[in-house]
Structure 1
Amino acid sequence: MYTPTVNAPAGGRVGTFLSGFGSGVGLLFRGLGIYARNPRLVLLGIIPGLLSGALYLAAFGTLIYFVSDLAELITPFADDWAGWARDVVRLIAALAFLGLGGLLGVLTFTAITLFIGDPFYERISERVEARYGGVPDEIEAPWWRSLRRSLVDSARLLVRSVLIGIPLFVAGFIPIVGQFVVPVVAALVAGWFLAVELVGVPFYRRGLRLPDRRRVLRANRPLALGFGVAVFLCFLIPLGAVLLMPAAVAGAALLARRTLGQSIAADSSNTAESNTAESNTAESNTAESTGAGTTGAQPTVEG
């Protein structure tokens, strides 16, 4: 079903990784192009994102409002310190809270928005795959069964992301490392989880579950990371998650096809339409030439 990556020589591994990473970034932009050029997809995708966006903006605004109180709550040992030392420690604590909130917000936003907009995003994914030939042997499952599986898998991913996010939160208190290394690691971790989450719909369509997603994406890790990190960085832009979630769903359909060894090289529907048009034109020309020949020819009667 999919082609595992082949171990490259040590000297070429970095280049191979960067090439795959760049291709993954490109899949997001291809999904954005498909989405932006189709007004119907825009209408399908905007409603769930707006609802989730309003919910998460309110939650993050609440966190910003209370972040200083939270910083004081977890740093009681600094109460008797000099003013500047106390302020520095609590500033680091506040930044760590905001960083953790942003990381968990991006990860849970994807799961919640996919839950709210499941029928909308499934239609977007279907239409994207239809452009490239559709899904062979597609499995039709009742909506309630798909919803149940999606909730279970999303919960499992959420638990994993929280378990990884907590150590990153603690590491955020380490000077320099917390401000420079942790954000890079967090982007890679969040990108991976986003990629695994977003390909859920096209994988379900093929009867594949969460373990299958992880296995297939691990075999194409640079590609999955490039796509996921690009989505993560776009989601950090104000309103980026609201506006770009449908494009991310479209790009995830391309990622699923690519990792499962199915073509995304040509627009099958357009090619089919073009071939049909050429065929109709050829038939029309043949009919016209035949008609012209028949009109111009004089029947020969044998006496």
Structure 2
Amino acid sequence: MQLGRGFEYFFSGFTLITQKGLKRFVLIPLLINLVIFGTSLFFIYGWLTDAFAWLNAQLPEWLTWLEFILWPLAILVLLFSYSMVFTVITNFIAAPFNGILSEKVEMHLTGQRINDDGLLDTMRDVPRMLGREWTKLCYYLPRALGFFILMWFLPVIGQIIWALFTCWMFAVQYKDYAFDNHKVSFKDMKRDLKAHQGLSYGFGAGVMICAAVPILNMIIMPVAVCGATKLWVENYRSQYRNL
């Protein structure tokens, strides 16, 4: 039940990004996503082309057919692994804008402002926002390394664990903006997410699937921020209204 609801919350973001009053706050995260993703994909494709050219030069002629198998495998690995790494990088850069987008989505859904901070106050808050992204990165990296190694030593089981971890991290990444706007600590945020794990894994699964779809993955960041904020409003906000 919760898995399905979490999945639906993510897809509700596609509707929210088109709402009047929110479009302009979607624009900057979207442009950051497009520029970084497009540029990095260009360089990765060039690196893969060079790598396969080198590999073909080393292989005997009767094994050149391996390229037709290795190319699709390389693309699949990139689609599912790069999506999470890419998310970590782009969210570091876009963190202040994603925080503002989450705030505006919450105001759109509730009709209430989170605070009365002006632009100058928001700019002063940027170091704290980036510090929060650093906290998430420190949480992610050691676990990602361990699960990535496990994925290669335990086929199938390792891949399943990696997929679940990726879903969890997508939930942590995007739900955290609303929690952070209300100054809820990272530790308390994780506690709340674990209390509703079905919502988290369902939401993360939606992000993971769409992040692996070319073109569609370029708009995932603002969509996920919007969907995660709606999830916050309807499931967590009431317990923090006095903060």
1:42-99 residue CA offsets vs partner (Å, 9 max, x unmatched): 4233211112212331243145325548989xxx9xx99xx77x977x9887776555
Match of 2:196 in 1: 220
Q: Which runs of 5+ in 2 are unaligned?
A: none
Partners in 1 of 2:169 and 2:138 — Cα distance? 12
* Corresponding residue SS for 2:193: helix
- Compute the displacement of 1:143 (Å): 1.8
8 Å CA contact retained: 2:37, 2:218: yes
- Compute the displacement of 1:246 (Å): 0.5
* Corresponding residue SS for 2:238: coil
**Among residues 255, 259, 266, which one is paired with 2:231 in the alignment?**
255
Match of 1:156 in 2: 139
8 Å CA contact retained: 2:150, 2:158: no
Query: Aligned AA for 2:187?
Result: P
Match of 2:28 in 1: 44
- RMSD, aligned α-carbons: 3.4
* Corresponding residue SS for 1:207: coil
Partners in 2 of 1:62 and 1:240 — Cα distance? 22
Would the alpha carbon gap of residues 184 and 163 (structure 1) be closer, same or farther in structure 2, given more than 3 Å must change?
A: closer
Larger radius of gyration: 1
Would the alpha carbon gap of residues 124 and 150 (structure 1) be closer, same or farther in structure 2, given more than 3 Å must change?
A: same
Is 1:33 paired with 2:15? Answer: yes
Would the alpha carbon gap of residues 58 and 33 (structure 1) be closer, same or farther in structure 2, given more than 3 Å must change?
A: same
Partners in 2 of 1:94 and 1:71 — Cα distance? 12
Is 1:130 paired with 2:107? Answer: yes
Match of 2:148 in 1: 165
8 Å CA contact retained: 1:27, 1:254: yes
Partners in 2 of 1:217 and 1:66 — Cα distance? 43
Query: Aligned AA for 2:150?
Result: P
Is 1:60 paired with 2:60? Answer: no
8 Å CA contact retained: 2:103, 2:181: no
Identity %: 23
Would the alpha carbon gap of residues 42 and 152 (structure 1) be closer, same or farther in structure 2, given more than 3 Å must change?
A: closer
Would the alpha carbon gap of residues 117 and 162 (structure 1) be closer, same or farther in structure 2, given more than 3 Å must change?
A: same
- Compute the displacement of 1:221 (Å): 0.7
Q: Which runs of 5+ in 1 are unaligned?
A: 1-18, 264-303
- Compute the displacement of 1:157 (Å): 1.5
8 Å CA contact retained: 2:83, 2:211: yes
Query: Aligned AA for 1:202?
Result: A
Would the alpha carbon gap of residues 201 and 261 (structure 1) be closer, same or farther in structure 2, given more than 3 Å must change?
A: closer
Match of 1:234 in 2: 210
Would the alpha carbon gap of residues 32 and 100 (structure 1) be closer, same or farther in structure 2, given more than 3 Å must change?
A: same
Partners in 1 of 2:195 and 2:215 — Cα distance? 32
Would the alpha carbon gap of residues 209 and 62 (structure 1) be closer, same or farther in structure 2, given more than 3 Å must change?
A: farther
Partners in 1 of 2:188 and 2:51 — Cα distance? 39
Query: Aligned AA for 1:256?
Result: W
**Among residues 183, 203, 214, which one is paired with 1:207 in the alignment?**
183
Would the alpha carbon gap of residues 25 and 135 (structure 1) be closer, same or farther in structure 2, given more than 3 Å must change?
A: farther
Match of 1:121 in 2: 98
1:19-51 residue CA offsets vs partner (Å, 9 max, x unmatched): 111101111121210112333244233211112
Scaled by the length of structure 2, the TM-score of the pair is 0.77
- Compute the displacement of 1:197 (Å): 1.0
**Among residues 219, 225, 244, which one is paired with 2:220 in the alignment?**
244
* Corresponding residue SS for 1:158: helix
Partners in 1 of 2:216 and 2:161 — Cα distance? 21
Query: Aligned AA for 1:30?
Result: S
Partners in 2 of 1:215 and 1:157 — Cα distance? 16
Scaled by the length of structure 1, the TM-score of the pair is 0.63
